[in-house]
Structure 1
Amino acid sequence: MTEHLKIGFIGTGVMGKSLVKHLLKAGHELAIYTRTKEKAEELVSIGATWASSPHEVAKNAQILFTMVGYPHDVEEIYFGENGILGADNKGLVVIDMTTSTPTLAQKIDKFAKERGMLALDAPVSGGDIGAQLGKLSIMCGGEKGTFDQVLPVLSLFGETILYQGPAGAGQHTKMCNQITIATGMIGVCEALAYGKKAGLDLDQVLRSISTGAAGSWSLSNLAPRMIAGNFEPGFYIKHFVKDMKIALDEAEKMNLQLPGLQLTKSMYDELVAHGYEDNGTQTLIKSYE
């Protein structure tokens, strides 16, 4: 890889915006696309170039990142009209960072190879904070050679960047991540609900339990938001519900029962039914109020 690359980025939401900033800061040339152009204005003002479609981004890029909401969004930007895989750009590396299905990751890999392109599925964990600090965990599936090729670029915003196996393995690893978070969120909420009922100073409780055996990312980063009544999204409930559904669907294919995950999803489904889908995942604490 040359020092300064032509990089495309599709999907500049809560996390994508921070990643584009890291790439710009490193001196790379960025072309971006998002469905709502106004959401990209800040990035254009600091050096990114706006493109009119995914196809337009893919035509001239050396590496193209995608980070959108749902598997059907991924399907549309890769295979739809004016999609990425319609571009004539042999050697292009496409990296989907959306949390999507392993099956779709394998489909993208297959079609990319047929067009002389390279593909990775590379979902991330770390939320908005990890994206801002450049300390995401990135889980990669695809060809090992492709992973090695783009590792220096991934290192601009990732701290733990690991190769997990062939196409789809990154997405399967992300499901392991989401399953761990899902059931852990119940534990965080129940600990705070218990502490509140017991009349404890919840900030002081967190100081004690966050650094012990109960410690977790959710406890350190989301519990303070719960206590403060801050339900702004670092990660949307609607996207978390999507991830849990993917994990449950994949588990069913493997004849695996995940009762903890089923319980958590049912609780988040209830929040969605009450209109909280655009809130952050820490909003689960409302189930205990």
Structure 2
Amino acid sequence: MKNMKRVGFIGIGVMGKSMSRNLMQAGFELDVYTRTKAKAQDLIDTGAVWHDTPASLAQSADVVITMVGYPSDVQEVYFGDNGILQHAKPGTYVIDMTTSKPALAEEIYAEAKKKGIFALDAPVSGGDVGARNGKLAIMAGGDEEAFQAVLPVFETMGENIILQGPAGFGQHTKLINQVTIASNMVGVCEAIAYAEHAGMDPSKVLRSITTGAAGSFSLSNLAPRMIKGDYDPGFYVKHFIKDMKLALEAAKEMDMMTPGLELSLSLYERLAANGDENLGTQALIKLFTKKA
């Protein structure tokens, strides 16, 4: 960690704030930038250094982590006039933890290599709970040497940390993760609706089924929120829609069928059309139960 004392974090959202805080608690000096400074104020108050542009942050940090909203945001923050790749020092490690396009991760890697910068794509899974507890699954793509160099940084944020292969493979893995969750979320909603329509206590039902073959993160962590009517975002509906569209685009390029993904996307788009795009993904239950 000799050359990795300063970590820059761009994008202080629901998960990014907890990830940044875990970096500080592990002893890293933290540089931060986000579009709305107020979102980072509590980090600044506890010692993080604010930067007005991604360029300024990139010039300061040894490792630059990005976790922004959409592929267009990734494109801008890496390739824009104030972008990371225009201003980072040779030898800097840049890690995009946004869920984005595999092809864009490959493009960032290639451009970074020309400039003597080490690039990894490393999207995560685990939601707000995983981010807060430092137990995220981190899915990386890039070179083995770069991955090993930044492993101490990853270990402050996650515990299931795997290099999946070359640039872009981290993004492919995350899209596979989202494909799995997409159908599962529909099943979880149907299960709760079934229990309620049968006149049962869905919380009691969960106690029986979460530890069996039906068990999943969504069933254990999001279903209880659904039952309580707690729709606060651990992961936004609008961002899940973005992820599913990316996965669907990649699947079509590979000429594969994705009926579960297509169904889930159509339901989430219906939810968003009802004005619920800024709620958590568990809000899908609203389409299934009158109580919700």
- TM-based fold match above 0.5: yes
Q: Distance in 2 between matches of 1:189 and 1:43?
A: 36
TM-score normalized by the length of structure 2: 0.98
Deviations 1:234-286 (A, max 9, x none): 00000000000000000011011101100000000101111100000001101
Question: Partner of 2:14: helix, strand, or coil?
Answer: coil
AA paired with 1:109?
Answer: Y
Q: Structure 2: how far apart are the matches of 1:218 and 1:2?
A: 39
Q: Is the 8 A contact 2:126 2:137 kept in 1?
A: yes
Gaps of 5+ in 2: none
RMSD: 0.9
Give the aligned partner of residue 272 of structure 2: 272
CA contact (8 A) 1:4 1:27 kept: no
Q: Which residue of 1 aligns with 2:114?
A: 114
For residues 20-64 of structure 1, the C-alpha deviation after alignment (integer angstroms, 9 at most, x for no partner) is: 111111111111000011111111001100001111011021111
2:80 corresponds in structure 1 to: 80
TM-aligned CA deviation for residue 88 of structure 1? 4.7
Task: Show the counterpart of 1:123.
Answer: 123
* Identity across the alignment (%): 58
Q: Which runs of 4+ in 1 moved over 4 A?
A: none
Supply the distance in 2 between the matched residues of 1:93 and 1:158 (Cα, whole angstroms).
18
Following the alignment from structure 1 to structure 2, what is the Cα–Cα distance between the partners of residues 177 and 133? 20
1:252-263 superposed matches below 5 A: 252-263=252-263
1:81 deviates by 1.7
Give 2:90's aligned amino acid. K
AA of the residue aligned to 1:96: D
Unaligned stretches of 5+ residues in structure 1: none
- 1:282 aligns with 282
Are the counterparts in 1 of residues 55 and 88 from structure 2 also a CA contact under 8 Å? no
Q: 1:4 to 1:84 in 2, by over 3 A?
A: closer
Partner of 1:158: 158
Which residue is equivalent to 2:100?
100
Q: Return the offset for 1:71.
A: 0.4
Alignment match, 1:186:
186
SS at match of 1:119: strand
List aligned pairs for 1:113-262, cutoff 5 A. Answer: 113-262=113-262
2:84 maps to amino acid: I
Q: 1:232 to 1:77 in 2, by over 3 A?
A: same
Q: Would you say how many aligned residue pairs link Structure 1 and Structure 2?
A: 289
